[in-house]
Amino acid sequence: MPPSATAATADSGDIIVKRNPATLELVGEVPCVDSTFVPIAVRKARQAQKVWADLSLDARRDRLKKLQVWVAEHQMEIARTVCEETGKPRLEATNVDVMSSLSVGRFAIAQMGTLFRPERINLGRLDLAMRVMGRGSYLHARPVGVVGVITPWNYPFGLPYSQTIMALAAGNSVIIKPSSEAPLSAKWVEKACLTCDLTEGLVQVLVGKGGKVGKTLLASGVDRVVFTGSGEKGREVMTEAAQRLTPVTLELGGKDPFIVLDDADLERTVRGAVWGAFVNAGQTCAGVKRIYVQRKISERFTEAMAMQASKLKMGWGWDDPDVSMGPLISEHALREVEMAVSLAMEQGARCITGGRRHPTLSGHFYEPTILVDIKQEMEIVQQEVFGPIVTIIPFDSDEEALALAADCPYALNASIWTRDLARGRELAEKLPGGTAVINNTPYTFGIGETPWGGSGESGFGRTHGHLGLLELVETHHVHWDKGSYAQDIWWSPYDQEKREAGEALVNDLFGKEGGSVLFKMMRHRRLMKR
């Protein structure tokens, strides 16, 4: 059974009733927290963070390792909740939600020693002179404090867990605001932390409807917000956070291009395209949405992809291992996809497979859909559609493919398919987005060492990898001086001699190169000693 809401959350009287979108059966009911409880939760998180940060690095590391083992041992229970809340196939719940998040956790734990190790700053030409004078600088990382993690429903355990363990490894406490479409999966994160003896209040899950709890959290004085969701909601988060100058990391939507060159391994490329387009029923920011195929192979590619997509078995995939695609999250989501496809066809698109609700399944199922005869300016190409819809457009040259890939407001991930790795690397480095993958779909969310994020309508900042850890700490600069000299030449009171020495120092340091910086600076020691 999924974990229920904890007694620590104040009941607002509202209840979220969650049904399985594949079977429409009741999954559970979750009481919502009252927004007035949010400041209390933040205070509790701040107290817990201080206790957590005061523990030795080894103690924190050991507890997070215990947390990882607990999650691995309870993977089936967690995956079951994920499947029931989202309807996704069991393999996707275990591989994407559970395994990917454990990969991120393993990376974060391994990096804790390096992250908190002081780093001496090399002062360049001044370095030797500064050391002789008894001075130097170093950087050290310290936790930001309380991190607010606001997550969507499409990866309802993987996203909150991976972002939470990154924040914990960086010495912070976490308040999770999960989507009301999938609150029970996030409760597993809270239960795991409590079970593994993490400081009480260190990780809290606040369930609420709509934007009430989320907005209150943004206004509560948390020290950083990590938000994953739509561009529309991301703008709201940024606006609210700006009122208190709260830094934010925004991982928003995507419209990932998938470029197939004429020398690609066609069979493997088609398999990658089908998985990338229809995994999680297309409800993923990093899904394959726009396929560009070199014209000489576009007909063969399109036919092969349509044939393979039409064979995907849909349904409730917990007990049936052959189910490869689940439902959309809700009836509203289903209608949104229907409207997007209808508009595209009105504008001249042609559907070669799918294009409708599943005729016999009772849940929110929409068939895997491939659209051709597409123009680049159509909304179906330019705007994110959160569903199993992919467009195919032919191109002639590498330059045209790059131009088409870049002609979209979203820039999250991209992929390029070719047998020529040199050609692939050259083009990949020019592709938009935070990640470009050669001969695979952007699965690197599941590799803890690699950063994740985009630009433009896909947001900014990074989660995962070393770059993601740096967003969860404050990098503090310390400069030290042994006090060997009575004064610096720029200290007051000023006089003619100091002015002349200051002007000479500018020329010594930044004028024409030549001579020892140490010797030049030592010429001014007499003024510094008096």
CA dihedral 506, 509, 510, 516 (to 10 degrees): 140
- Give Rg (Cα) of the chain: 27
Q: Give the pLDDT of residue 524.
A: 74
197 or 92, which is more confident? Answer: 92
Which of 12-21, 228-237, 340-349, 514-523 bottoms out in mean pLDDT, i.e. has the lowest?
Answer: 514-523
Q: Give the pLDDT of residue 11.
A: 58
Q: Is 96 exposed, middle or buried (0-12, 13-18, 19+ CB in 10 A)?
A: buried
CA distance 28 to 120: 53
Q: Give the pLDDT of residue 5.
A: 42
CA distance 296 to 293: 8
Cβ contacts of residue 232 below 8 Å, gap of 6+? none
Residue 429 has pLDDT above 60, yes or no: yes
CA distance 129 to 126: 5
| Structure confidence at residue 7 as a pLDDT band (50, 70, 90) | very low
CA distance 394 to 291: 8
Question: Which residue out of 285, 384, 408, 471 is catalytically annotated?
Answer: 285
CA distance 470 to 454: 16
CA distance 530 to 519: 19
Q: Give the pLDDT of residue 8.
A: 40
Residue 227 has pLDDT above 90, yes or no: yes
List, for residues 241-293, the tens digit of each pLDDT value: 999 999 999 999 999 999 999 999 999 999 999 999 999 999 999 999 999 99
Question: Which residue out of 84, 85, 240, 251 is catalytically annotated?
Answer: 251
Beta bridge partners of 435: 413
List, for residues 157-166, the tens digit of each pLDDT value: 999 999 999 9
Ranges of each domain in the chain: 26-252+467-475, 256-446, 486-529
Q: What are phi and psi of 352, to 5 degrees?
A: -100, -15
What is the rounded average pLDDT for all residues in the chain?
A: 93
In the chain, what's the furthest Cα-to-Cα distance? 92
Q: Per the structure block, which two tokens stand in for 175? A: 């308040």
Distance of CA 407 to the CA centre of its chain: 23
Distance of CA 17 to the CA centre of its chain: 28
Measured between alpha carbons, how far is residue 353 from residues 93, 303, 304, 382, 418 in Å?
Answer: 26, 10, 11, 21, 26
On the question of a common fold for 26-252+467-475 and 256-446, the answer reads no
For residue 440, what is the DSSP state? S
Q: Give the pLDDT of residue 443.
A: 87
Mark whether 25 is an active-site residue: no
Q: Quick one: fold of 256-446?
A: Aldehyde Dehydrogenase; Chain A, domain 2 (3.40.309)
List, for residues 124-140, the tens digit of each pLDDT value: 988 988 999 999 999 99
Mark whether 408 is an active-site residue: no
Helix (H) or strand (E) holding 363: none
For 194-210, what is the mean pLDDT? 92
Which of 44-58, 196-210, 511-525 bottoms out in mean pLDDT, i.e. has the lowest?
Answer: 511-525
Helix (H) or strand (E) holding 196: none
Cβ contacts of residue 185 below 8 Å, gap of 6+? 2, 78, 81, 82, 85, 97, 156, 157, 160, 178
CA distance 214 to 41: 13
| Structure confidence at residue 526 as a pLDDT band (50, 70, 90) | confident
Q: Per the structure block, which two tokens stand in for 425? A: 């690397």
SS3 68: helix
Q: Give the pLDDT of residue 6.
A: 43
List, for residues 308-365, the tens digit of each pLDDT value: 999 999 999 999 999 999 999 999 999 999 999 999 999 999 999 999 999 999 999 9
Q: Is 267 exposed, middle or buried (0-12, 13-18, 19+ CB in 10 A)?
A: exposed
Cis omega before residue 493 (within 30°)?
yes
Give the angle 293-295-312 at the CA atoms, nearest 5°: 40
Q: Where are the alpha helices (DSSP H) in 32-175?
A: 38-54, 57-73, 75-86, 90-92, 100-115, 127-132, 158-169
Give the angle 30-32-38 at the CA atoms, nearest 5°: 140
CA distance 448 to 163: 11
List, for residues 15-54, the tens digit of each pLDDT value: 999 999 999 999 999 999 999 999 999 999 999 999 999 9
Go through the chain and tell me how many residues it has.
Answer: 530
The answer to whether the beta carbons of residues 363 and 23 sit under 8 Å apart is: yes
Measured between alpha carbons, how far is residue 451 from residues 154, 436, 438, 475 in Å?
Answer: 20, 12, 16, 18
CATH class, 26-252+467-475 region: alpha beta
Specify the amino acid at residue 404.
Answer: L
List, for residues 95-128, the tens digit of each pLDDT value: 999 999 999 999 999 999 999 999 999 999 889 8
The answer to whether the beta carbons of residues 277 and 260 sit under 8 Å apart is: no
The answer to whether the beta carbons of residues 309 and 279 sit under 8 Å apart is: no
CA distance 507 to 522: 14
CA distance 18 to 430: 44
Specify the amino acid at residue 58.
Answer: D
Which of 6-15, 33-42, 180-189, 521-530 bottoms out in mean pLDDT, i.e. has the lowest?
Answer: 6-15
For 484-498, what is the mean pLDDT? 90
